[in-house]
C-alpha cells in the first residue's frame, strides 16, 4: 500500500504566508482608499439646481445652498422635497464611490462587512 502525502507540507506553509501577506496588503490598500474617499467632496442638486447639497466622504453634510426662487412660502413642501431628494442623491453618490473603489481592491468579490 502506498503512503499518502498530505498537501500541508512545507510548501503549504509558504502558501499560507503568501495569503496572509496578500490579505495584509489588501487591508492597507483598503485603508488608504477609505482615507482618500473621506477627503473627497460630493455634490448633488435637485429642482434644476434650486437646491444644492455637499457632503464629505465621511457622509457629513457640509453645505446646503437654496436658490431664492425655491423659497415659496406658499409651497414649503416642495422645498422640503427638493432638500430630501438632493441629500438622498449625494448619499447615494458617496455609497457608489465607496463601493466602486472597494470593488477594485477586492476584485469584485462582495466581502460582507467591508463596505
Instruction: Write the CATH number of the domain with boundaries 10-106.
Output: 3.30.1310.10
Q: What is the pLDDT of residues 78-110, one digit of tens each?
A: 999 999 999 999 999 999 998 888 888 777 666
CA dist 56 and 13 (Å) reads 43
Q: What is the pLDDT of residues 6-58, one digit of tens each?
A: 555 555 667 888 888 888 888 888 888 888 888 899 999 999 999 999 999 99
CA dist 62 and 10 (Å) reads 55
Q: CB count, 10 Å around CB of 2?
A: 4
Q: What is the pLDDT, as a whole number, of residue 115?
A: 47
Whole-prediction pTM: 0.68
Q: Which strands, in side-by-side order, build the sheet including 51-56? A: 41-46, 51-56, 61-66
CA dist 2 and 87 (Å) reads 69
Q: What is the pLDDT of residues 63-78, one digit of tens each?
A: 999 999 999 999 999 9
Amino acid at each position: 500500500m502506498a503512503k499518502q502525502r498530505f498537501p500541508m507540507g512545507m510548501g503549504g506553509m509558504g502558501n499560507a504566508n503568501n495569503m496572509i501577506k496578500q490579505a495584509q496588503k489588501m487591508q492597507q490598500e483598503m485603508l488608504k482608499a477609505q482615507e482618500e474617499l473621506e477627503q473627497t467632496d460630493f455634490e448633488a442638486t435637485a429642482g434644476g439646481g434650486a437646491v444644492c447639497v455637499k457632503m464629505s466622504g465621511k457622509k457629513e453634510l457640509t453645505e446646503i445652498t437654496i436658490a431664492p426662487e425655491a423659497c415659496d412660502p406658499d409651497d414649503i413642501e416642495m422645498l422640503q422635497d427638493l432638500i430630501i431628494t438632493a441629500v438622498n442623491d449625494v448619499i447615494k453618490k458617496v455609497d457608489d464611490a465607496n463601493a466602486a473603489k472597494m470593488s477594485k481592491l477586492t476584485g469584485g468579490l462582495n466581502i460582507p462587512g467591508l463596505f
